[in-house]
Amino acid sequence: MLAYVVRRLLYAIPILIGVNLLTFLLFFVVNTPDDMARMQLGIKRVTPEAIAHWKAERGYDKPLLYNRNAEGAARVTNTIFFEKSVKLFAFEFGRADDGRDIGNEIRTRMGPSLAIAVPTFVLGLFVTVSFALLLAFFRATYLDFWGVVLCVAMMSISSLFYIIGGQYLVSKVWHLVPISGYAGGLDAMRFLLLPVLIGVAAGIGSSTRWYRTIFLEEIGKDYVRTARAKGLSELAVLFRHVLKNALIPILTGVVVVIPLLFMGSLLTESFFGIPGLGSYTIDAINAQDFAVVRAMVFIGSVLYIAGLLLTDLSYTLVDPRVRLQ
């Protein structure tokens, strides 16, 4: 068990290095800092001085990998690779184009992101698993058929329309909650309700269908027949036997996204004006703030790997075969 966890942790290291190298290549080798400067300053009328100034301001005026002009260890450390990429491992992200510290920004924006993402996740999981269980219970009936049709229709709608349509109906036509904005404390409820509901609705189609397939696959297995041969009711079979086994494949897909909840949702946050990490990322993309995008790529990868680890650990909770071997 412990060896297993340690091995998974060690495996994460080369992956993070890989991610780091990849972002370095993408941001500094494929396009040089000069290109970025010209892009930011406008292609047409840009002077070499302006470029040099722009680079110096952001610390991009160093050599990429090896600094001939420096002494000792600084030959390696006083480079773009060390300053911008290696330091990501220490969670030092540097400053954004507006001069603010990215690390600070991330810490303050995490709260609103989680305030939306966690309720959406929990409520969504509950609703879709319940719905899928319902369909599995009534399998091969009209309820099941039309439920699946509804799921396919719902998953054919772009998430953009869920948001646009939801905002229009709930806020504009019915005037129930504010269209967008955010406030701290209990007041946040008013602003969170709509995005959470929309987030849940947008995920119903595909998740329900997937869980239903998993449940049906389990229901076809031999041990279910054994359970029925004991005289158990269909509900007992479903909840005591099928659900517990189906949790294993469900966890595979679900646990991995839990850490990523920190990153928030790009679309929801930008539509509802929530000052979270999702909207931070979108703003950075639109402003072509490379430092922020780079930081978010790195954090995203760390969280994803954490999710993989959590998934492995979660198996030990539900699957005795993993726990006891």
Binding residues among 122-151 for another protein as defined by CB under 8 A? 139-141
- Minimum Å gap between C-beta 12 and another protein is 9
**Nearer Cβ to another protein, position 183 or 317?**
317
- Looking at 67-75, 84-92, 109-117, 284-292, which segment touches another protein (CB under 8 A)? 284-292
**Nearer Cβ to another protein, position 36 or 78?**
36
* Other CB atoms within 10 A of residue 50 CB: 15
In this structure, what token pair is assigned to residue 32? Answer: 């040089």
Q: Which of residues 264-283 bind another protein (CB under 8 A)?
A: 266-267, 270, 281-282
Asked if residues 134 and 147 have their Cβ atoms less than 8 Å apart, the reply is yes
- Looking at 55-63, 89-97, 108-116, 215-223, which segment touches another protein (CB under 8 A)? 215-223
**Nearer Cβ to another protein, position 40 or 67?**
40
- Minimum Å gap between C-beta 70 and another protein is 28
Helices 290-318 & 102-137 angle (0-180, nearest 10): 40
Q: Which of residues 36-55 bind another protein (CB under 8 A)?
A: 36, 38-39, 43
- Minimum Å gap between C-beta 35 and another protein is 5
Q: Which of residues 64-103 bind another protein (CB under 8 A)?
A: none
Asked if residues 80 and 29 have their Cβ atoms less than 8 Å apart, the reply is no
Concatenate the DSSP letters of all residues of 266-322 into one string: HHHHHHHT--SHHHHHHHHHHHT-HHHHHHHHHHHHHHHHHHHHHHHHHHHHH-HHH
SS3 category, 95: strand
Contacts 24+ apart (CB under 8 A), 151-154: 151/204, 151/205, 151/206, 151/208, 151/209, 151/212, 152/205, 152/209, 153/205, 154/201, 154/204, 154/205
**Nearer Cβ to another protein, position 38 or 95?**
38
**Nearer Cβ to another protein, position 74 or 158?**
158
Of residues 154, 148, 143, the one with CA closest to residue 213: 148
Query: What burial letters (b/e) apply to 218-235, b meaning 16+ CB within 10 Å?
Result: bbeeeebeebeeeeeeee
In this structure, what token pair is assigned to residue 144? Answer: 């099941």
- Minimum Å gap between C-beta 49 and another protein is 19
Concatenate the DSSP letters of all residues of 41-64 into one string: H-SSS--HHHHHHHHHHHT--S-S
Give CA–CA dist 49/271, Å, rounded: 39
- Looking at 48-56, 82-90, 115-123, 298-306, which segment touches another protein (CB under 8 A)? 298-306
Concatenate the DSSP letters of all residues of 202-233 into one string: HHHHHHHHHHHHHHHHHHTSHHHHHHHHTT--
**Nearer Cβ to another protein, position 196 or 246?**
246
- Minimum Å gap between C-beta 304 and another protein is 4
Which residue among 18, 103, 181, 273 contacts another protein (CB under 8 A)? 18
**Nearer Cβ to another protein, position 79 or 281?**
281
SS3 category, 101: strand
**Nearer Cβ to another protein, position 75 or 249?**
249
**Nearer Cβ to another protein, position 95 or 315?**
315
| Pattern 217-256, another protein, x by CB under 8 A | x-xxxxx-xxxxxxxxxx-----xx--xx--x--------
| Pattern 150-189, another protein, x by CB under 8 A | --xx-xxxxxxx--x--xx---x------x----------
- Minimum Å gap between C-beta 273 and another protein is 13
**Site size with another protein, rule: CB under 8 A:** 84
